[in-house]
Structure 1
């Protein structure tokens, strides 16, 4: 609608239009909220089935496998995200085998 259409409407018509818009929005918001609550309920149920009451098993300690040649205090087990020093050395053209700790 253009502004001219609103100008020609009286207060009662505008109020009626306002109530229609408000009720439509409230209904749509309620429907969307119900969908989201249902999704959340499903996620919570699936999350509960994954968990169990038993405690997590203890993993053995992993000894470091690689050592930074520039700073021997920096070591990496080879698991998880690569440390910055490893990434920098690999970009410089070196290979992981260069950093193996001799046993």
Structure 2
């Protein structure tokens, strides 16, 4: 590996080097992530599952597990939302009226 004398470099050279290192790190992380996903898919397949089914909490019988509700409508507490996917109409209306989403968090 080539040794770099950082003390001898000008500021613009250091900035260019920093940008190259940042890009190299992002590329490295992306490669490693892709390798890890491929290994996880292979492991899931060995056990007769698709990785996506395992990560989504699928039952294996075609059903999907529902998420735990995080938000509730104060006027009708049976109206809930997990915080994933599209916001329900009751929440959109209240946010448009100036409410803060945190007001609707379900207190544990």
Normalising by structure 2, we get a TM-score of: 0.43
Q: Which has the higher helix share?
A: 1
More strand by share: 2
- Larger-Rg structure: 1
Return the structure number with greater relative CO, CA threshold 8 A, min gap 6: 1
TM-score of the pair, normalised by structure 1: 0.45
